[in-house]
Amino acid sequence: MFKFLTSRTDDPGFPNSVVLTNKSSHWLVLDDQGRRIPPKSHAAMDAPSVAASSQISEHVEAGLRVVS
């Protein structure tokens, strides 16, 4: 599951959600399915999708994204 959020504290409305914050001023690719997150925004994904995405871990390590 995937959902854009208006703020980091919004309720995603589905279980096992992980909130992603894009700290970058650029769009970032989330996964191989082509999902992207806009600059300076928040989205929620289910935990298995986050775990399966190599792009998310690369962006966290680079300091471009925060996962909570």
* Sequential pLDDT tens for the chain (68 residues): 899 999 988 999 998 998 989 988 999 888 888 889 999 999 999 999 888 888 888 877 777 667 76
Q: Give the pLDDT confidence score for residue 29 in this predicted structure.
A: 87
Q: Give the pLDDT confidence score for residue 63 in this predicted structure.
A: 75
Give the closest residue to 3 by CA, choosing from 34, 66, 45: 45
Q: Give the pLDDT confidence score for residue 65 in this predicted structure.
A: 67
Distance CA 59, CA 31 (A): 11
The model carries a pTM of: 0.80
Buried b (16+ CB within 10 A) or exposed e, 51-62: eebeebeebeee
Q: Give the pLDDT confidence score for residue 68 in this predicted structure.
A: 67
Give the closest residue to 64 by CA, choosing from 34, 31, 40: 40
